[in-house]
A = this chain, B = another copy of it.
Amino acid sequence: MAKQLKKKIDQTTEEKIKIAARKLFTRKGFAAVKTRDIAEEAGINLALLNYYFRSKEKLFKLIMEESFLQFVKGIAEQFNDENTNIDEKIEKLVESYIDLFSQYPDLPLFILSELREHPDAFSSRLDAVTGISRSVFVKQIREAMKNGVYPEMHTFHFLANMMSLIVFPFIGSPMLMKITDISVKQYQEMIQERKKMIPIWIKAMLKSNAYKLIK
């Protein structure tokens, strides 16, 4: 307790501003956040924001960059691990992302919104993501389909389905909680349940042979 309190007090002004900015930007986006909001949230003077980060836009890009890194961090390694099989990769991926988003629930919508409005802003950082299509993971999947372990399914559908099952409960939480009339506590339990259920569902979808059934 004392430690955490101390840590908060020990934060440099620069850190305070970044923390406040991250909170507000990820929640409301660039345009909806005023520099005064950030200053107030951080408990500092407005002028200090420009002193440390030159401009609102520069601060935003910094936060953006860091959030994006957080988003893709670990993907490359997990996707290219030669020592784990498909099932293990899926399980690891699902778990680490659900943990990440449980801690930062606004992160997915923020990234997706930004990527939608500025699709080319991340071409540099997106290398890690683009590499996915050439990753060990995708190769393993394709191999398994060739060998008949899994029926054919385009990588697009596979990745879309996996990401959607992980991400949607976070970006749609207000709607889902309202519709199903559950408490915050129950919601969090559901999210935890999904760590084990999503891998099972993904395998079930893979095996469903949907590609041939629709022809």
Q: Which residues of B contact A175 (CB under 8 A)?
A: 112, 115, 129
Query: Which 4 pairs between the two chains have the least Cβ-Cβ distance?
Result: A164-B168, A31-B32, A204-B208, A31-B31
The one of B28, B132, B168, B210 in contact with A117, judged by C-beta atoms closer than 8 angstroms, is B28
State in angstroms the CA–CA spacing of A78 and B199 once bound together: 30
Q: Which residues of B contact A185 (CB under 8 A)?
A: none
Closest residue of chain B to A209, judged by CB?
A: B200
Scoring A residues 185 to 215 as 1 if CB is less than 8 Å from chain B, else 0, what string do you get?
0010010011011001101110110110110
Q: List 19 A-B contacts (CB under 8 A).
A: A27-B117, A28-B31, A28-B117, A30-B32, A109-B113, A112-B175, A119-B174, A119-B178, A126-B178, A133-B181, A156-B180, A159-B176, A161-B201, A165-B165, A167-B168, A167-B172, A200-B208, A201-B205, A204-B204
Chain A interfacial positions (CB closer than 8 Å to B) = 27-32, 106, 109, 112-113, 115-117, 119, 126, 129-130, 132-133, 154-157, 159-161, 163-165, 167-169, 171-176, 178-182, 187, 190, 193-194, 196-197, 200-201, 203-205, 207-208, 210-211, 213-214
- Binding site secondary structure of chain A: helix
| Given A160-B172, A168-B164, CB of A200 within 8 Å of CB of B179 | no
State in angstroms the CA–CA spacing of A109 and B178 once bound together: 18
Interchain nearest-CB distance for A62 vs B (Å): 19
| Given A163-B168, A168-B160, A205-B205, CB of A197 within 8 Å of CB of B211 | yes
State in angstroms the CA–CA spacing of A181 and B203 once bound together: 24
Closest residue of chain B to A198, judged by CB?
A: B210
Q: Which residues of B contact A211 (CB under 8 A)?
A: 197
The one of B106, B112, B174, B210 in contact with A201, judged by C-beta atoms closer than 8 angstroms, is B210
Pairwise interchain contact A154-B190, C-beta atoms closer than 8 A: yes
State in angstroms the CA–CA spacing of A115 and B168 once bound together: 14
